[in-house]
Structure 1
Amino acid sequence: MALQELRSSAVTFRRILAHFPEELSLAFAYGSGVFRQAGRGADAQDAMLDFVFTVDDPVDWHSRNLKKNWNHYSFLKVLGPKLISTIQNDYGAGVYYNTLIMCDGRLIKYGVISTRLLVKDLLNWNSLYIAGRLQKPVKILAMNENVILRSALDRNLTSAVTAAFLMLPESFSEEELFLEIAGLSYAGDFRMVIGEDKTKVLNIVKPNVAHFRELYGSILQENPQVVYKAQQGRLEIDKSPEGQFTQLMTLPKTLQQRINKIMDPPGKNRDVEETLFQLAHDPDCGEVVRLGLAAIVRPSSMKQSTKGIFTAGVKKSLIYSSLKLHRMWRGWLRETS
């Protein structure tokens, strides 16, 4: 990206952020409006900009935002900030989205999540919704000095590498690794059947290998279980049962629990460590990990999408869904042409 383009983007982001209350522990932009994606033509420059705002006190933040941006909200705004925050925290993946907003001449969508819930998702992968977004390159726009949040962000990336290792062969390329990582939060997502371009993960990774390398390079260099040949873009990992058991034991808690539920026969009630030890010796270890990921992502994505109908309003939801279906159709045409 040219220097002039970078400066223009920085100005755009600053001007958009100025429309919102400042009390943000983390703000980032993501998606095709920020990072180039394969298959997106001239429309990419005018693509909707996607943001996530992390806030310590959702009630206070929504209260301030309702005063500044009343028209951003659906009919739920009449319920007030307390109920909006309850809907945000207690349903779906813990994030409240306002979508199809015109802000400073650009179409935007923004999600609001509490710092507490984000940290839990980053560490445990309770929903892998925003944690999954943060496993791919994003543009950090604001971040306060929250040591716990910063540590959780790093842990999420390390966990993504570990999960991907378990689903890969002994030797693989950087691109294969990044494809697995980018696909973690789409495992079992019903939107990949209806609503998303089937080549979405490939389109995210192909033009952004350098950004993924920047995000994961130091983690790969410091991991004792991998031989990282950065010059050749190749990696080799320990696929012994001992090596896989070590990796399985460091996976986020929710994924371990889902794996245990998949593998534990009725009436056995084995503990997680016993199940993971057995799985480490199983040739289908990677596929079980993939099933565990799907068991996290499928319900959270469905609940969050259902919640989106109410937070966006029916009209905006229909427009947003039609845009997604249009992109899916174009992706299908590219595949079959």
Structure 2
Amino acid sequence: MALQARSSGMAFRKILTHFPEEVSLAFAYGSEVFRQAGASASQKNPMLDFVFSVDDPVAWHSKNLEKNWNHYSFLKRLGPRIITSIQNNYGAGVYYNPLIMCDGKLIKYGVISTKTLIEDLLNWNNLYIAGRLQKPVKIVTINENVTLRSALDKNLQSAVIAAFLMLPESFSEEDLFLEIAGLSYSGDFRMVIGEEKTKVMNIVKPNIAHFRELYESILHESPQVVYKAQQGRLELDKSPEGQFTQLMTLPKTLQQQINYIVDPPGKNRDVEETLLQTAHDPDCGAVVRLGLSAIVRPSSISQSTKGIFTAGMKKSVIYSSRKLHKMWKGWLSKTF
């Protein structure tokens, strides 16, 4: 297994050499990196997914257009500044080029500004790449950006807190990891149209050890939970005081969404007052879930719409048909 991990890491780094070097963070994810159950596991020629965080998207796209002109749709003719404007100002701040053959592998890669990524990790502005980084990924390269590294850690801590608010007083590790993995799918329209219904379960079940590796130290250090690692069980403080403490540490955008849901128009109470009311609400977890959906739904729709233009019509049709085929296979495997 260690040998296989090293060889795959080398393959990922080799793929990275086909792109401009100025990348602050590059990671690979998906069923080609971490095994998934269900139809994803048996898909022929599965696509390897990457995200590249870059400090200067205009400069990066300019160099990438020189090296990989054919990766881009018709938008390449508008130049790197327009590409960067589309990347930053529409959808979730990511520009994807899918269905690229690189070193004999079919890949998709997304480009995001480091500044946009850090803001999403800290505030959950759209919970798109931040949500991806709450699940196990393979870091291919990361520079010494202290702010970025701190934001990556804060994103994991926030994921644990949000999951706590939606869980009962006693639960298993698997329950926790299912909640965490599902955060960024709350309200995602693709879970209805394009993704397998059991996607979250398929991600978590074969990768419990990888989730544990991500979250174990956070769980041991949290004063609000008793983590019985040997039994794989956790016991949580579900008192209103405990829930208020958790709500107050949630990312800013989620707090604002909860405030909007709970606070009737015209009252204009401050966020702290609304969160205190939510902490005493028996449906506190349901309110948090609604807040997550309010973040994820619009960003998932706008990012997918943007993908039609960034990928081009032909690739969009092929990519969508692959997604629908995978969903259909998942449905058939459960029906028969």
322-331 vs 49-58, which moves further: 322-331
Rounded to whole Å, the distance in 1 between the matches of 2:255 and 2:331 is: 35
Report the CA distance between 1:267 and its aligned residue.
1.3
1:276 counterpart residue number: 275
Report the CA distance between 1:8 and its aligned residue.
2.6
2:84 counterpart residue number: 85
1:214 counterpart residue number: 213
Task: Indicate conservation of the 8 Å contact 1:33/1:44, yes or no.
Answer: no
1:326 paired with 2:325, answer yes
Rounded to whole Å, the distance in 1 between the matches of 2:281 and 2:301 is: 31
Report the CA distance between 1:44 and its aligned residue.
5.3
2:146 counterpart residue number: 147
Count residues with an aligned counterpart. Answer: 336
Could you give the per-residue CA deviations for residues 94-138 of structure 1, whole angstroms, max 9, x where no partner exists?
Answer: 000000000010000000000000000000000000000000000
1:101 counterpart residue number: 100
Task: Indicate conservation of the 8 Å contact 2:27/2:50, yes or no.
Answer: yes
Q: Show the 5 A alignment for 1:190-205.
A: 190-205=189-204
The verdict on how the C-alpha distance between 1:30 and 1:227 changes in structure 2, with shifts beyond 3 A counting, is: same
Q: Specify the code of the residue in structure 2 equivalent to 1:323.
A: R
1:128 counterpart residue number: 127
Could you give the per-residue CA deviations for residues 14-37 of structure 1, whole angstroms, max 9, x where no partner exists?
Answer: 211010001010000000010000
1:174 paired with 2:164, answer no
Describe the SS at the equivalent of 2:111: strand
Describe the SS at the equivalent of 1:47: coil
Task: Indicate conservation of the 8 Å contact 2:72/2:311, yes or no.
Answer: yes
Rounded to whole Å, the distance in 2 between the matches of 1:175 and 1:167 is: 14
Describe the SS at the equivalent of 1:198: coil
Rounded to whole Å, the distance in 1 between the matches of 2:123 and 2:44 is: 35
Describe the SS at the equivalent of 2:242: helix
Could you give the per-residue CA deviations for residues 71-109 of structure 1, whole angstroms, max 9, x where no partner exists?
Answer: 000000000000000000010000000000000100000
Q: Specify the code of the residue in structure 1 equivalent to 2:161.
A: T
Q: Specify the code of the residue in structure 2 equivalent to 1:35.
A: F
| RMSD (Å), alpha carbons | 1.0
1:39 paired with 2:38, answer yes
**TM-score if structure 2 supplies the norm length?**
0.98
Describe the SS at the equivalent of 1:193: helix
Task: Indicate conservation of the 8 Å contact 2:165/2:284, yes or no.
Answer: yes
2:334 counterpart residue number: 335
1:49 counterpart residue number: 48
Describe the SS at the equivalent of 2:118: helix
Rounded to whole Å, the distance in 2 between the matches of 1:92 and 1:82 is: 17
Rounded to whole Å, the distance in 2 between the matches of 1:152 and 1:41 is: 30
Task: Indicate conservation of the 8 Å contact 2:39/2:330, yes or no.
Answer: no
Q: Which ranges of structure 2 fall in alignment gaps of 5 or more residues? A: none
Report the CA distance between 1:39 and its aligned residue.
1.3
Could you give the per-residue CA deviations for residues 150-203 of structure 1, whole angstroms, max 9, x where no partner exists?
Answer: 000000000000000000000000000000000000000000000000000000
2:254 counterpart residue number: 255
2:188 counterpart residue number: 189
Q: Specify the code of the residue in structure 1 equivalent to 2:268.
A: N
Q: Specify the code of the residue in structure 1 equivalent to 2:91.
A: G
Report the CA distance between 1:5 and its aligned residue.
2.1
Could you give the per-residue CA deviations for residues 218-273 of structure 1, whole angstroms, max 9, x where no partner exists?
Answer: 00000000000000000001000000000000000000000000111121111110
1:237 counterpart residue number: 236
1:11 counterpart residue number: 10
3-12 vs 232-241, which moves further: 3-12
Could you give the per-residue CA deviations for residues 284-305 of structure 1, whole angstroms, max 9, x where no partner exists?
Answer: 0000000000000000000000
Describe the SS at the equivalent of 1:239: coil
Q: Specify the code of the residue in structure 2 equivalent to 1:6.
A: A
Task: Indicate conservation of the 8 Å contact 1:33/1:46, yes or no.
Answer: no
Q: Specify the code of the residue in structure 2 equivalent to 1:212.
A: F
1:28 paired with 2:23, answer no
Q: Which ranges of structure 1 fall in alignment gaps of 5 or more residues? A: none
